[in-house]
Structure formats: structure tokens, C-alpha cells
Structure 1
Amino acid sequence: MQIFKEDAVTWLSTLADASVDLVVTDPPYESLEKHRKIGTTTRLKVSKSSSNQWFEIFPNDRFEDLLKEIFRVLKKNSHFYLFCDQETMFIIKPIAEKVGFKFWKPIVWDKVNIGMGYHYRSRHEYILFFEKGKRKLKNLSTPDILTFKRVHRGYPTEKPVELLETLIGQSSDDKQIVVDPFFGSGSTLIAASNLGRSAVGCDISESAHEHLYRRTCES
């Protein structure tokens, strides 16, 4: 596992063209800040009484630069998965298509338990599924709703390792390079390592690095 601490776009710009086999990531998208302000995601703070944040928001106006870099570093005939909410999905899709990706569909992550909120409280999250070139999934019988219980280990946006293993297993082979430019809790990197992939990630947040260090020390 290789990890770096830098701005995601800046870091991606240092990688060679067509050098990555798969990108799976969960950017700290802008709408999280809106929900934090109205009180539905107070867990994004270090504590309820604290103004400190686990991570800085990645603004919507930087997504084109990000997606251009992801498209550039991915090899031909590869996949790209991006976690987001229903608002960010409509922002990401046209930008990704503009830079060259083919959009297949939003995959739904069913978290089993409902979250905080007001109107029809959410129990799911979207995973946008993109393709560069043409690559077959490993298991064509896998549904587009993936059910894995949400994780509560301290990091607010942590994803279940088993969920990431499903995506990585579908879209990469042994020893291939899997990249996450916003590794956050580190679940993508752990999942990739578990499957025998070369896991490479970046996150500008010191909290993310500390959390991943604790996870790897515990295992």
C-alpha cells in the first residue's frame, strides 16, 4: 500500500498517462457542507460541540479538473467508480461525459439502516459507474443494488470494506493498480490489498492518515 498527503488533483497530475487500472473514490463533495449546516450531518465534525472538521470540502467547480486527471491516468478499457449523493450525481455525470467517460448507471448502496434527515430519511448512497473504453465486469449477475450495513468506526464517511471488494473484484485483476485520490477512512485501499491489488491512495486530510494508520495497526 502506498499513500500520499497532497491535494487530489495536484497528486493525480504527477501520475503517468494510462498508468492506473481502476479508480474508486468518495470525494468530500460540496453538498455535505450544506447538510452539515442544517444539522443533518453533525457527525462530520470531530465532536458535536466542536467546529473542527474531519476533512475539507472539495468544491463542485474543481470536478472538471479532477475528472480530466482521472481519465488521463486510467488505462484504456478500465472502470471508474465515484460515491456521491443525489445532488452531486447530476453535477458529476455531464462533466465526466464531457472529459470522455461513458456513463453506465448509478449503482445503489443500500445501507440497511436509515440515516438522519427529515423527508423520506435516506438509507442509500449512489455509486456512479463509468467506463473508459470497454471492459467486461467479472460477474454479470451482480445486481445494481448492493446491500452492506453502514460502518461506524469513528470516521464519518467510512464505507464497508466488503462493498469496496465487490467493486474492485468486478473491475480489476490480481496485482493491478487501484487508486483512490480521496482515501478518507482507507476502506478502498484495504479492500484492494485484501484482493491482491496494488493499492495507491492520496488524501490531504491529516485525520484520514491518522485513521488509516490506526486501522492498519489494529489489523
Structure 2
Amino acid sequence: MLLDQLDAVEWLKTLPSGSVDLFVTDPPYESLEKHRKIGTTTRLKVSKSSSNEWFAIFPNSRFDELLTEMYRVLKNNRHMYIFCDQETMFHLKPAAEQVGFRFWKPIVWNKMAIGMGYHYRAKYEFVLFFEKGKRKLNNLGIPDILEAKRVVRGYPTEKPVDLIKILIEQSTIEGETVCDPFFGSGSALIAASELKRNSLGNDISPSAHEYFKQRLSNKMTES
């Protein structure tokens, strides 16, 4: 497991072309800041009662350069999964297709509990599924709606390890390399490790590194 603390695009530029087998990532997309400001995403607020430090937003305007580097670094005949909301997907999809990715479909993550909001409150999130070249999924019986309870009182926007394990198992084999340029809570890195995959991770936020370090320490204590 190799970790860095750089701007995501600048970090990707340091990686060799065709050096990773799978991207699974959850960028701190622009619309999150809007929800935080109007109070519809209270878990992400910075307050004295919360230990969560708000992270820097990755703007939609930078998706072109991000996805260009992700396409370069990803091996041929490999997959990419990006978590996003309904607003961000309309920016991500055309940007990814422009640099060469093939879009398959949005996978729906059913969080098993209703979220915050004022109307038609969210119970799901999208995972956009892209392909570079052609690679068959390992299990063709997995549905496009994945159920996993959302993480409560974790890192902001933390994703369940079991959910990410499904994506990694679908698109890699043991010994291949999973990459996350915005590792946040570190769920993708932990999922990769538990599935005997190699992993590369980066996050510009000091809070992410601190949280992940503590998370690894807790796992070692539990084992």
C-alpha cells in the first residue's frame, strides 16, 4: 500500500502510463459544497461538535485534466468506478468519454436509509462504470443496484468497505493494483488489501491521512 499527499492530478502525473488495473474513487465533487452551505448535508458541516474537518472541493472544471491522467495511467482492458451524485454525473460522463473511456451505466448504491433534504430525500448514490478497452466482469450475476448501509459517524462521505469490495471483485483478480486518487476514509484501500490486491492511494487532505492512519491502527488492534 503506497500513499501520497498531493493534488490528485499532479499525483497521477507521477505514475507510469498503464500502471494500474482499476480505479475506484470518490472525488469531493463541487455539488457537495452547495449542499453543505445550505445545510442539507449536516454530516459534512464543520462545527465544534464534529471532528470532521471539511475537505477541499475538486471543481468540475478540472475533470478533463483528471480523467486524461486516469486514462493514461490505467492499463488497457480495465475498468474505472467513480462515485458521484445526480448533478456531477452530467459533468463526469461526457468528460470521461471525451478522453477515451467507454461509459457502461450508472450503478446505484442503495444506502438502506433515507438521507437529508427537503423533497424526495436521497436514499441512493451513483457509481459511474467506465471501461478502457474491453474486460469482462468476473460475475455476470451481480445486479446494477447494490445494497449496503451507509457509514454512520465516520469520515465525511465515507463509503462502506463491503460495497467497494463488490466493485474490486468484479473488475480485478488477486495481485492486481487498485488506485484511488481521493482516498478519503481509505475504504477502497482497505477493501483492496482484504481482497489481496495491491493499492495506490492519494489524498491532499491532512485529515484524510490522519483518519486513515487511525483506522489502520484500530484494525491492527482488533486483529
TM-score normalized with structure 2 length: 0.95
Superposed displacement of residue 48, structure 1: 6.3
How far apart, in 1, do the equivalents of 2:126 and 2:175 lie?
27
The equivalent of 2:108 in structure 1 is 108
Name the structure 2 match of 1:69.
69
Runs of 4+ in structure 1 deviating by more than 6 angstroms, as ranges, are: none
Residue aligning to 1:78: 78
Q: Is the 8 A contact 1:42 1:48 kept in 2?
A: no
Q: Aligned partners of 2:28 and 2:146: how far apart in 1?
A: 21
* Cα distance between partner residues in 1 of 2:205 and 2:115: 25
**Residue of structure 2 in register with 1:183 after alignment:** 183
Task: For 1:1-219, list aligned pairs within 5 A.
Answer: 1-47=1-47, 53-219=53-219
Distance 1:190 1:154 in 2: 15
Q: Which runs of 5+ in 1 are unaligned?
A: none
TM, length-normalised to structure 1: 0.97
Q: Number of aligned pairs?
A: 218
The 2-side partners of 1:56 and 1:48 are apart by 19
Deviation at 1:49, TM superposition (A): 6.6
Residue identity opposite 1:62 in structure 2 = R
Q: 1:80 and 1:154 mapped to 2: Cα distance? A: 25
Give the fraction of aligned pairs with identical amino acids, expressed as a percent: 68
| Root-mean-square deviation over aligned CA pairs | 1.2
Q: Distance in 1 between matches of 2:53 and 2:178?
A: 27
Query: How far 1:80 moved relative to its partner?
Result: 0.2
Q: Displacement, 1:90?
A: 0.5
The answer to whether the 8 A contact 1:17-1:73 is kept is yes
- Partners of 1:48 and 1:105 in 2: how far apart? 40
Query: Aligned with 2:68: secondary structure?
Result: helix
> Conserved in 2, the CA contact under 8 Å of 1:148 and 1:162?
yes
| Equivalent pair of 1:54/1:205 in contact (CA under 8 Å) | no
Give the partner amino acid of 1:39: G
Deviates more, 1:163-172 or 1:150-159: 150-159
Q: In structure 2, the residue corresponding to 1:15 is in which secondary structure?
A: coil
Which whole-Å deviations, capped at 9, do the CAs of 1:68-98 have from their partners, x for residues lacking one? 0000000000000000000000110001000
Counterpart residue identity of residue 91, structure 2? I
Query: Take 2:87 and 2:23, find their aligned partners in 1: how far apart are those partners?
Result: 21
- The answer for unaligned runs of 5 or more in structure 2 is none
